[in-house]
Structure 1
Amino acid sequence: MAGWRTHTGTALLLPLDNVDTDQLIPARFMSTPRSEGYGKYLLHDLRHDEEGVQKPDFPLNTCPNASILVAGRNFGSGSSREAAVYALVDAGIRAVIAPSFGDIFASNAVNNGLLPARVDEDAASTLHAALANNPSEVTIDLNTGTVTLGQHTIAFALQNNWRTKLINGWDDIDLTLQHADAIRSFRDSRHSTDGWAWPATPN
């Protein structure tokens, strides 16, 4: 997974609260191999009518090349399915900006290179107003923790370890491996001082 520091792309307003993981990718599509891509299933039931025809006025249908979503509260709530993040990433989404996220969704997002940028309510209102009529170009800077849209520069919250993972393209295993020397040192020390805690070596 490639890391990144800045991204400039088209931001699209998705003015919905409580978009959960079952809406992001309905369960019936999750048997599809990831190698086939999940992007076409992103928000499928919101983007299509009962006959499977795309709704012409749904935001993602009007601007399919958007790489940044500006959404409402509690984005990614619901089940822990990582496929919800796969659907966003496979559809070309690099960041979601919202006032709050489902905890597991946010963690899964970072592990797959997707930024869950949390902004306060006032900042969210500013972005919603700026994008209400048309998608616009937005620049995201992980180093400064800011989103820039026209004359607006808005700070977003992001845990430091998540920032490190996104910049370097790391998941949890990669992050843990950065402490490999300390882990080995602890293991060797514990082995020598607390032998009772280790299984007996077979003869």
Structure 2
Amino acid sequence: MGAVKTKRMPRAVREQQMLDAAVRTFGQRGYMAASMDEIAELAGVSKPLVYLYLNSKEDLFTTCIRREAHALVEAVRAGVHPELPADRQLWEGLRAFFAHTSRNPDGWSVLHLQARTHGEPFAAEVTAMREEIVSLVTRLIAVAAREAHRDPDLPDREVACLAEALVGAAESLAAWSNATPGTTARQAAATLMNFAWAGLGNLMEGRPWSAPEPSHEVSG
């Protein structure tokens, strides 16, 4: 009888296995310190196979960024249900965001830290992902303004500023939450929701905070 042939792993499965190893290595070691040897060993494959499937280290890192960015955006989109009131949509979106970044700390490190600090085109990939999330949050805030029936024509610039601020706060809080033992995704989402929705509620109800008039110095 001939030797029994082992079943070969499908290319797509093997590639995801390599990307899992790469995300873990890049996320924990950093882009510059990570080596293709280390990634190959963690994936249980030879280094030439990593190069064959995913080309250079730069291409591998770009592929990791794209995969993690797509997964995060899809997780947030899946958490937002259009039939819910605006506050529930925002809450579910935030909860989905923090749950995903909590479950995937290495992926979040790749997106939030590594990709942003090693120049183009890595930063551009993250910018594209961020724009998608900001666009989603912008729509939610606009919906909230219409539902309030107090300021349905909230200026686009005001909405855009609020969305940018909220997404920026979520990004920083996710990084802090992942680095702080005992902080759950739900707690992080609730903290930001309380902080954001209280302010949004006042704005929608025509009670915005107003900056004080500049003080005039009295010349001596």
Fold conserved between structures, TM > 0.5: no
- Give the helix-richer structure, 1 or 2: 2
- Give the strand-richer structure, 1 or 2: 1
| Structure of larger gyration radius | 2
